[in-house]
Structure 1
Amino acid sequence: MSDPINRSSVRREFWAHVPTEKMTATEWEALCDGCGKCCLNKLEDEDTGHVVLTRIACRLLDDTSCHCSQYEIRHQFVPECIQLTPKSLPDHMYWMPDTCAYRLIYEGRPLFPWHPLISGNAQSVHDAGVSAQGITESEMDIHEDDWEDYVIEEPT
């Protein structure tokens, strides 16, 4: 599967000078590095609020490309899928991956060299070993009571 975002159509280094609320829809979408980690199911400790990743992926995640197989109509299949927007970003920081560009921009940090906007190559996130590529199990195959057995450290 090819990269669904045409990164060549966005302004060079827009993320460094355009506030998120002023970004075009294409620019906003281009911030996604395609790692797939946001589509991994997480477990949250009710007492501490600490969130951990599991290898259990949303049923729509393509484990090879790390893209949603039904992105445009995902809410038809997964109504609880979060629509991340500049406005909703602060509410979702607690579960966002540490390497996520949305989180990095929000926190005023630079993008990693492997980010496709920096490298110019959508494959670079996978080559750097920071994606969920090839490590997932579908949520359709693992009972939720067993998810604790699939906790992982975030690939960083």
Structure 2
Amino acid sequence: MSEIDRDGLADRYWEKKPMSALNQREWEALCDGCGKCCLNKLEDEDGDVALTRVACRLLDDTVCLCSNYAMRHEFVPECIVMTPKTILDHLYWLPQTCAYRLVHERKPLYDWHPLVSGDPNSVHDAGVSVQERTVSEINVHEDDWDDYIIEEPT
């Protein structure tokens, strides 16, 4: 029998189960809450992806969560649903610190990841999130996004 943590998830389940076997709760718990996937990205002709601090209009950067996650596709139809089946299609633009990327690449999660630290704020305390560092896409014209290119917080 596996050890169960206080959230009812098996201890270090992401190291023991293939991504395809994760249930919805386990899958969602992999998200560290950094908010970087909600930043608009620019891709050049070589396929290189640059991160901007221009965030999706639904990102609440005080908590680094979508302000309307359940209905996000009604407001942002292009929002990508990341699943074990779609991860390969989108791996190239996932942040380097993203747990979905790390688990797919069979790398360990960082110590600041909430599943490891047990603290949902550890991602912010470590300075890895985009907490209070974004500007809404509503306020920046798409032609000006290149003025907001940033290095990924790591």
Q: TM-score scaled by structure 2? A: 0.95
**C-alpha deviation, 1:123, in angstroms:** 0.2
| Aligned counterpart, 2:38 | 39
| Aligned counterpart, 2:153 | 155
List aligned pairs for 1:6-155, cutoff 5 A: 8-46=7-45, 48-155=46-153
Amino acid at match of 1:9: G
Amino acid at match of 1:20: M
Q: Take 1:94 and 1:68, find their aligned partners in 2: how far apart are those partners?
A: 22
**C-alpha deviation, 1:12, in angstroms:** 1.0
Post-superposition Cα deviations, 1:47-84, rounded to whole Å, max 9, x if no partner, equal x1000100000000001000000001100100010000
What SS does the aligned partner of 2:58 have?
A: coil
| Aligned counterpart, 2:3 | none
Give the count of matched residue pairs: 149
What SS does the aligned partner of 2:40 have?
A: strand
Q: Take 2:103 and 2:152, find their aligned partners in 1: how far apart are those partners?
A: 19
Q: Take 1:9 and 1:84, find their aligned partners in 2: how far apart are those partners?
A: 23
Q: TM-score scaled by structure 1? A: 0.94
What SS does the aligned partner of 2:123 have?
A: helix
Q: Take 2:103 and 2:18, find their aligned partners in 1: how far apart are those partners?
A: 9
Please, what is the CA RMSD of the aligned residues? Answer: 0.8
What SS does the aligned partner of 1:155 have?
A: coil
Amino acid at match of 2:134: T
**C-alpha deviation, 1:9, in angstroms:** 2.4
**C-alpha deviation, 1:10, in angstroms:** 1.4
Identity %: 64
Q: Which runs of 5+ in 2 are unaligned?
A: 1-5
| Aligned counterpart, 1:3 | none
Amino acid at match of 2:153: P
| Aligned counterpart, 1:4 | none
